[in-house]
Structure 1
Amino acid sequence: MKGIDEQTRTELEAAAFRRLLEHLRERTDVQNIDLMNLAGFCRNCLSNWLQDAAGERGVALSKEESRTYVYGMPYEEWKQRHQGEATPSQIENFEKSKPAL
């Protein structure tokens, strides 16, 4: 972003990330497997990236804490309220699209 100082860029990125989380919290109809199949990442990926960023800065952030932040509630509660069983088609698409390790 040409002409924008580092602090402002960081603030804009943080605001966009918060908006993405808000959007994903509102769109509980979109399953993580759908996100993985279409975009190659999901809510769990975001929570892992958040935890990684914290660790790189020496900040202790547990997996549970990062997931609670991303989901807006404890992960197990979100799963009970919103996560459906993956269909055979979703699983097949996931297997085709996941990166080889």
Structure 2
Amino acid sequence: MTDKLETLDDRVAAAAFRRLVRHLRQRSDAQNVDLMGLAGFCRNCLGDWIEEASDLSKAEARETVYGMPQSEWKTRHQKEATPEQLARMAESMTKNAARDDALEGALDAALADSFPASDPPAMTEPNR
């Protein structure tokens, strides 16, 4: 079975992403701490993913998501997080870390399978 996400047309994916960002810009009542607690990502994550995939700085990438400098958005919209919100976010971050560890382990295994068991001395003993 083919993963439809991997075959999704880039134009369609870009349009859906832009719609998500516009939606988040309009829903400033949806606090980042709540997004993190429920879904494991927030506006900052989207900005960071844009930064990783582009030549934008972190500030520029986040401004792309927020529609304004992040500091301005925080002043206008961010509320103080409650202990309950912070606890949900911490629990969610634990789930993200477990997923990331599993992905990294799978990548390590794939790399180990793709390289010979014994590397030439120039790779393992560079000063030799």
Percent identity (aligned): 56
Q: What RMSD in Å do the two structures reach over aligned CA positions?
A: 2.0
Shift of 1:97: 2.2
In structure 1, the gaps of 5 or more residues are 55-59
Q: TM-score, normalised by structure 2?
A: 0.67
Query: For 1:93, which of 83, 88, 93 is the aligned residue?
Result: 88
1: CA distance, partners of 2:24 / 2:50: 15
Q: Secondary structure at the match of 1:98?
A: helix
Q: Deviation string for 1:14-35 (max 9, x for gaps)?
A: 0000000000000000000100
Q: Deviation string for 1:37-63 (max 9, x for gaps)?
A: 110100000000001011xxxxx2101
Q: TM-score, normalised by structure 1?
A: 0.84
The residue number in structure 1 matching 2:78 is: 83
Higher relative contact order at CA 8 Å, sep ≥6: structure 1 or structure 2? 1
In structure 2, the gaps of 5 or more residues are 99-128
2: CA distance, partners of 1:95 / 1:21: 24
Alignment of 1:25-36 (within 5 A): 25-36=25-36
The residue number in structure 2 matching 1:72 is: 67
